[in-house]
Chains A and B, each alone.
Chain A
Amino acid sequence: MLDLYDKIQDALKVIQAKWDKTPKAGIILGTGLGGLVEEIEEEASFEYTDIPHFAASTATSHRGRLVCGTLCGVPVVAMEGRFHMYEGYSLKQITLPVRVMKALGAELLLCSNAAGGMNPFYSCGDIVLIDDHINLMGDNPLIGINDDRLGPRFPDMCAPYDHDLIDKALGIARQEDIVAHRGVFVAVAGPNLETRAEYRFLRAIGADLVGMSTVPEVIVAVHCGLKTVGFSIVTDLCLPDALKPADVAEIIAIANAAEPKLRTLVKGVLTEYAGK
């Protein structure tokens, strides 16, 4: 029944057979944001299908590759493409890579996503540092018997995102003249985008952004004791009283266009954290 621990070990063995460094950080790259891997000095890489117990990445613009190497001189392991609940995977499967990153020795999780902006002060292409989240996925990756080797039964969520690193990221954004905000991300299962009434509801309960990922990974990061920074790129505006049909190609184009800004912030936070 407690097979998760063994699954982590299986994946770990395959990765460590080709790459024996200890990563400082794990990076998860979301929709349209995979470009950052170009900057990683790649030392090893794995198709998800070659890592035991990893799911296959099926979502649009998610490449499905784990890249190990150094970014700005810091050893990192990066997921080029992630898994989503709407692909039919269980939250335990979706979050397995986070546990593997922890097992490899990572201390920090940097994750990114493309999100719908509900806060009227946001514009398309803006970056939002996730300050807090609301889990409205209807599920939780920690349901089931708890394996105390992996983390506590009842993880506390009073600060799932690292405030110091958020401040650092915002400081870098100001220096580099990048528009960045701090906001609350609400996670829904998807895959349909929200109705106008749903956007009104999500806005009313205090969310600034809505997306279909990240929260499961962050819950697991807190459970296993990783510091987390979450970056959202606002790829469409979800203003219920002036709502236009969402165009996935356009969302990806906006994510791609904003990707260099994300790159700057991820690299900046990473170098600050690693003290380089």
Chain B
Amino acid sequence: MFKLKAQVEDLAAAIRRRWNERPLAGIILGTGLGTLTDGVDVEVTIDYEDLPHIPSSTALSHKGRLVCGRLGTVPVLVMEGRFHVYEGYSLETITLPVRVMKALGASILVVSNASGGMNPFYQSGDIMLMEDHINFMWRNPLTGHSDPNLGQRFTDMSSPYDTQLLDTAARIARREGIQHHRGVYAAMTGPNYETRSEYRFLKKIGADVVGMSTVPEAIVAAQVGLRVLALSTVTNICLPDNLGSVGKYDVIRAAQAAEPRLRYIVKEVLLEEQSQLATV
């Protein structure tokens, strides 16, 4: 019944055979943000197809490999290419890597994504630090028989995104003059973009941006006790009264343009975390 625990252990063992380090952070890279690994001193890369229980990634601009190495001096495990509900995967599969990161000893999860900005103060290319989310995927990765070895049955969601990491990221962004916001992310299944009426609805219920990922991973991270830093790049503006159509490559282009800023914030936050750990 509890096969998930065994899958996590299989996967952790398969990674440890190739890279026997304890990552400080696991990083999941979203649409157009895959080049973050250019800044990583790569020690080992593992294609998803060489790992058990992990499907191959199919989304546009997602590569599908695990990169193990160092970002500056920080040991990190990077997922290049993530899995989405719209690809037809179960949330259990989608969030499996988060459990593996925890099993390998990570204490922080960094997640990035591309999103549509509904808050009229946001512009394309801005970075939004996720401060909270609304799960509108109609699914939950914790549904099913609960294995007490994996975490609690009723996971608390009072603060799924780590306030300290959020403050550090915001301080770094301010220091560097990087346009950023704090906001609420609504997760939909996709794959179609939203209608005008859906944007109005999501805005009304308190969301600033909308996307098709991250929330499942953040829910599992909360269950297993990883501190989460989630960064969303606003790649298109979704103002229902002035809505243009979204081209397939517009989103990727906007995400790539914002990528150096995102990379800088992630690296600096992790370096600060590492130095704090060293002084404790």
Chain A interfacial positions (CB closer than 8 Å to B):
132-135, 138-140, 142-146, 152-160, 184, 186, 204-207, 219, 222-223
A160 contacts B204, C-beta separation under 8 Å? no
For B243-269 the 0/1 string (1 means CB < 8 A from A) is 111101001000000000000000000
Determine whether B58 belongs to the interface, using a CB cutoff of 8 Å to chain A.
yes
Give Cα distance in the complex from A157 to B200, angstroms: 13
Least CB separation from A142: chain B residue: B191
Least CB separation from A145: chain B residue: B58
Chain B interfacial positions (CB closer than 8 Å to A):
58-60, 85-88, 138, 189-198, 200-201, 204-205, 243-246, 248, 251
Chain A residues in 8 Å Cβ range of B189: 139-140, 143
If A139-B189, A145-B58, A154-B246 touch, does A205 touch B194 (CB 8 Å cutoff)?
A: no
B192 contacts A140, C-beta separation under 8 Å? yes
A132 contacts B196, C-beta separation under 8 Å? yes
Q: Which of A132, A144, A146, A157 contacts B193 (CB 8 A)?
A: A157
Least CB separation from B246: chain A residue: A156
Q: How far is the CB of B129 from chain A (nearest CB, A)?
A: 25
Chain A residues in 8 Å Cβ range of B86: 140, 142-144
Chain A residues in 8 Å Cβ range of B193: 154-158
If A206-B200, A206-B201 touch, does A157 touch B191 (CB 8 Å cutoff)?
A: no
A157 contacts B195, C-beta separation under 8 Å? yes
Least CB separation from B88: chain A residue: A144
B190 contacts A140, C-beta separation under 8 Å? yes
Q: Which of A139, A140, A184, A204 contacts B191 (CB 8 A)?
A: A140
B196 contacts A153, C-beta separation under 8 Å? no
A158 contacts B191, C-beta separation under 8 Å? no
Chain A residues in 8 Å Cβ range of B248: 152-154
A156 contacts B192, C-beta separation under 8 Å? yes
Least CB separation from B245: chain A residue: A156
Q: How far is the CB of A167 from chain B (nearest CB, A)?
A: 17
A184 contacts B197, C-beta separation under 8 Å? yes
Chain A residues in 8 Å Cβ range of B244: 158
Q: Which 10 A-B pairs have the closest CB atoms?
A: A138-B138, A144-B88, A205-B201, A132-B197, A156-B245, A158-B243, A157-B195, A155-B192, A184-B197, A158-B245
Give Cα distance in the complex from A138 to B138, angstroms: 5
B87 contacts A157, C-beta separation under 8 Å? no
Chain B residues in 8 Å Cβ range of A222: 192
Q: How far is the CB of A166 from chain B (nearest CB, A)?
A: 14
B205 contacts A205, C-beta separation under 8 Å? yes
Q: List 9 A-B contacts (CB under 8 A).
A: A133-B198, A139-B189, A140-B192, A154-B193, A155-B192, A156-B192, A157-B195, A158-B246, A206-B201
Q: Which of B88, B194, B204, B245 contacts A206 (CB 8 A)?
A: B204
Give Cα distance in the complex from A133 to B200, angstroms: 11
Q: Which of A154, A160, A205 contacts B190 (CB 8 A)?
A: A154
Least CB separation from A131: chain B residue: B197
Q: Which of B192, B198, B205 contacts A154 (CB 8 A)?
A: B192
Chain B residues in 8 Å Cβ range of A159: 243, 245
B85 contacts A143, C-beta separation under 8 Å? yes
Least CB separation from B244: chain A residue: A158
A143 contacts B192, C-beta separation under 8 Å? no
If A135-B198, A143-B88, A158-B243 touch, does A219 touch B192 (CB 8 Å cutoff)?
A: yes
Q: Which of B60, B88, B192 has the most CB of A within 10 A?
A: B192
If A138-B138, A140-B189, A156-B246 touch, does A132 touch B195 (CB 8 Å cutoff)?
A: yes
Chain B residues in 8 Å Cβ range of A154: 60, 190-193, 246, 248, 251
Least CB separation from A186: chain B residue: B197
B192 contacts A157, C-beta separation under 8 Å? yes
Give Cα distance in the complex from A152 to B191, angstroms: 10
B204 contacts A155, C-beta separation under 8 Å? no
Give Cα distance in the complex from A60 to B231, angstroms: 49
Chain A residues in 8 Å Cβ range of B195: 132-135, 157-158, 160
Give Cα distance in the complex from A100 to B189, angstroms: 25
Q: Which of B192, B197, B200, B201 contacts A223 (CB 8 A)?
A: B192
Give Cα distance in the complex from A186 to B198, angstroms: 9
A133 contacts B197, C-beta separation under 8 Å? yes
Q: A158-B195, A223-B192 given; name 14 further pairs at CB < 8 Å.
A: A133-B195, A139-B138, A140-B86, A140-B189, A144-B87, A145-B58, A153-B60, A154-B60, A154-B192, A157-B198, A184-B197, A205-B200, A207-B197, A219-B192
